[in-house]
Amino acid sequence: MSSGSSVKEETIPAAGQQPKILIVGLGNPILGDDGIGWRVAEAVEEALLLEEEVKNPAVEVACYSLGGLSLMERLIGFDQAILIDAVQTGSGKPGSLYDLTLNDLPDLSTGHLTAAHDTSLQTALKLGREMGASLPSEIVIVGIEAEKVYDFSETLSPEITASLPEAVNLVLKQLNKLLRRSSQSLTV
Amino acid sequence: MTRITIDPITRLEGHGKIEIFLDEEGDVENTYFQIPELRGFERFCVGRPVEEMPLLTNRICGVCPEAHHMAAAKAGDAVYGVDPPSAAKKLRELLYMGFFFTDHTTHFYALGGPDFVMGPDAPVAERNILGVIHKVGLEIAGQVLQARKYGHTVVEMLGGRKVHPCTSIPGGVTKGLTEEEREKIEGMGEWAVGFAQFSLDLFGDIVLGNQEYVDLILGDIYSDRTHYIGLVDENNKVNFYDGKVSVVDPDGKRLGKYAPDEYTDWIAEHVEPWTYLKFPYLKKVGWKGFVDGNDSGVYMATPLSRLNAADGMATPLAQAAYEKFYETLGGKPVHQRLAIHWARLIELLYSAERWMELVTDPEITSPNIHTVPTKVPTEGVGIVEAPRGTLTHHYWTDERGILTKVNLVVGTTNNYAPITMSIKKAASSLINKGTVVTEPILNMVEMAFRAYDPCFGCATHSLPGQMPLEVTIRDVDGEIVNVLRQFC
């Protein structure tokens, strides 16, 4: 087989590059409460734009309907990441917020059918790291307990909508922590 | 009666679930496979302009947005009665080859491959893409991610953005290709052909070189004699983007070909009380239950179906692989479901070769990429082959192009009946009186439907975004006597 250009070479950030943080809203914006991740990410982006002090070229905000390998590929080149997504624990009240890490999620990659067509984010990250891809050293997750994620709708449930401001604050708090940890000052 | 349930544990409703009911002897009495269905899409669409559908429908599924984008654009063409310029069709198809190349690569290495590369009874912790990479070498991991990257790049260049393309509209596309972009895509296409050949060679070495796997593929556990459908071009060669749907019977005899707007003459849907999802079947043959054979209208729509329903592949290397496939497996059609994995790799090679054909077509950089619709919109059907089966979009609009009704028949829905049958057959073969149901046995049951690459993508958006499995074994009173999980 002919050899393509190395993924490793293309993804390692240049020396001296400022640490980069990616905030990702995950979910499906037309699937009811599954769209909460996007809504929070969009609100976070607005808050960052409005707050002059927090303008920071190292912070990017994106919205994706992705998981597994595809999500891992989007994280390449970032030093830290915040994922925002709907979760269904089955025990929390709709709109409950969760401050999670990847370790809090079951790593389902050891089984089959862990994803319909993909692998788990944890496995994808291990794969990427084994290849030397530059992936975030820290990934934090802000989860919002969702109620209706099987009905097509662009409207969130009232409880989920009500949780939006608090979710935005939680993301900004997490962002502040990450920025502090990467020795940058930021006031939110 | 004992009940064994293979069930995700993080969902309260709408999840995919396998239930295996045993009789008092301990043999399999019946199996049920329930697929989650997202509700209300038709209601969601009604009242919107039809030209929004290529954007809306690509949000139905996080796995194959490009397929919905294409089917919606083609249905939009039909609604407006407009024929896009030749260059626009080629640009759409080129984007589609990038998508197919990515999707088939991912399936083989991440999902289907572990069973063969690691073995169906390998320790569960190793039976994943990491295990595959550790076995075949880290360099391969780089190639897999490179393949995905190139496929994504083609989609981005032609589709306007990295995920969820937005350039196909009724009458053509909104973005052409510059010579500079064309050259880049050509360079990536050359590499893609090599990668696809390598993947087929890898399959040959690891799977066909192992008699145990060959026996597994050719054995009766994973075989059902059903009908097959797949899109073909005017020469009856496999085509992913356009053509008519060829229908063949279990003997390989072609029953006919239907154009998109004729699909309701051929396909009907059967309803069962235990699932919300309907079971499509061939109307002209009729629904006879979950049975195979020439008299049963059950059909399959997968990579293997496409090969069975066609007379060959339209590109030379894929055609050679096609011939070897049928020579090795004892002629056409092939009914063994695990052969879907091999068929998928032949399609991978076709997608790469077709990518090269299209990108070197002098017309591909033409600026003539859109025909303005002028007719009053009415009703239209668009069909493409999604990676996991024939995808049909049917729209009705008023005279302003506002949607009044929508019907979709998606890839996995086509395969609902054959998947159900495959699970029952595998379970019946593997679980008998006195069988201790172990993880490897359940994995071999799962293999029966994993080959179809069934699409639960729409249901996997919320974190943890996965479809974990739990196996619950119940006694005759329905009490749980044991619980097996596929992960720790």
Q: Whose CA is closest to A133, among A20, A14, A8?
A: A8
SS3 label, residue B401? coil
Residue A11 lies in a domain: no
What is the per-residue pLDDT for A4? Answer: 39
Answer for the pair B283, B267: CB distance below 8 angstroms, yes or no: yes
Q: Residue ranges per domain, chain B? A: 2-36+415-485, 41-217+358-405, 224-335
Give Cα separations from A14 to A3, A10, A17 (angstroms).
23, 10, 6
| Cβ contact B373:B81 at 8 Å | yes
Please report the pLDDT score of residue B423 as a whole number.
87
Gap from A120 CA to chain B (nearest CA, Å): 7
Q: Which among B41, B188, B197 has CB closest to A152?
A: B41
**Chain A contact probe: residue of B99, B466, B467 with most A CBs at under 10 A:** B466
Confidence of residue A126 (pLDDT cuts 50, 70, 90): confident
pLDDT band for position A186 (50/70/90)?
very low
Residues of chain A contacting residue B471, judged by C-beta atoms under 8 Å apart? none
Q: What CATH number has the domain bearing residue A154?
A: 3.40.50.1450
Render pLDDT for A3-37 as a digit per residue (tens, 0 to 9): 333 333 333 334 445 579 999 998 888 888 989 99
Residue A122: which domain range? 17-104+115-181
Q: Tell me the count of A-B CB pairs closer than 8 A.
A: 210
Closest Cα in chain A to B41: A152
Contact A152 B38 (CB under 8 A): yes
Minimum-distance CB partner of A66 among B163, B197, B458: B163
Fold of B41-217+358-405: Cytochrome-c3 Hydrogenase; chain B (1.10.645)
**Residue A89 is assigned to a structural domain of this protein:** yes
**What is the rounded average pLDDT for all residues in chain A?**
78
B485 interaction partners in chain A (CB closer than 8 Å): 111
Cis peptide before B316 (omega within 30 of 0): no
d(CA B136, CA B198): 12
pLDDT in tens, chain B (488 residues): 444 444 332 222 334 567 777 788 778 888 877 766 666 787 889 999 999 999 988 877 666 889 999 999 999 999 999 999 999 999 999 999 999 999 999 888 877 777 777 777 777 667 777 888 888 888 888 898 899 999 999 999 999 987 789 999 999 999 999 999 999 999 999 999 999 999 999 999 988 888 888 888 888 899 999 999 999 999 999 999 999 999 999 999 999 999 999 999 999 999 888 777 789 999 999 999 999 999 999 999 999 999 999 999 999 999 999 999 999 999 999 999 999 999 999 999 999 999 999 999 999 999 999 999 999 999 999 999 999 899 999 999 999 999 999 998 887 789 989 999 998 898 888 888 877 777 778 778 878 877 887 765 443 333 333 444 444 555 556 555 455 544 32
CA distance B285 to B192: 41
Going by the DSSP 8-state scheme, the letter that residue B396 receives in this structure is E
Using a CB-CB cut-off of 8 Å, the residues of chain B touching A7 are 142, 145-146, 149
Which of B148, B460, B469 is opposite residue A69, by nearest beta carbon?
Answer: B148
In a domain, A87, yes or no: yes
The residues pairing with A23 across neighbouring beta strands, listed in sequence order, are: A61, A82
Residues of B in contact with A110 (CB under 8 A): 124-125, 127-128, 486-488
Tell me how close the Cα of B162 comes to any Cα of chain A, in angstroms.
10
CA distance B5 to A187: 51
Give B-chain residues touching A65 at CB under 8 angstroms: 59, 62, 65, 163-164, 461
The pLDDT tens digits for A94-109 are: 999 999 888 777 654 4
CA A129 to chain centre: 18
Query: How far is B341 from B206, CA to CA, in rounded Å?
Result: 13
Establish if A122 belongs to a structural domain: yes
Residue contact B141–A127, C-beta within 8 A: yes
Smallest Cβ distance to A34: which of B191, B456, B462? Answer: B462
Look at A110 and B41 and tell me if their CB atoms are within 8 Å: no
How many residues does this entry show for chain B? 488
Q: Which of A26, A89, A123 comes nearest B130 by C-beta?
A: A123
- DSSP conformation letters of B130-195: HHHHHHH-HHHHHHHHHHHHHHHHHHHHHHSSSSS---EETTEES----HHHHHHHHHHHHHHHHH
Give every strand in the sheet of B244-248, ordered side by side.
Answer: B254-258, B244-248, B227-232, B299-300
Task: Show residues of chain A in contact with B460, CB under 8 Å.
Answer: 67, 115-116
CA distances from A72 to A29, A55, A64, B136 (A): 20, 26, 12, 21
Contacts of B197 in chain A (CB under 8 A): 1
Q: Is this prediction's ipTM beyond 0.85?
A: no
> Which residues in chain B touch residue A105, judged by CB atoms under 8 angstroms apart?
463-464
Q: Which residues of B touch A121 (CB under 8 A)?
A: 465
pLDDT confidence of residue B116:
78
Query: pLDDT of A38-87, one tens digit each?
Result: 999 999 999 988 775 555 678 999 998 877 788 899 999 999 999 998 88
Question: Domain for residue A123, yes or no?
Answer: yes
Beta carbons of B384 and B393 less than 8 angstroms apart: no
Cβ B74 vs Cβ B89: under 8 Å: no
Mutation target for A interface from B132, B317, B463: give the one with most A CBs within 10 A: B463
Looking at residue B455, what is its pLDDT? 64
Q: C-alpha angle with apex A54: A49 to A57, nearest 5 degrees?
A: 80
Chain B residue nearest residue A150, CA to CA: B38
pLDDT at position B440 is: 78
Query: What are the tokens at A71?
Result: 């999500």
Nearest-Cα residue of chain A relative to residue B139 = A131
- Name the domain count of chain A: 1
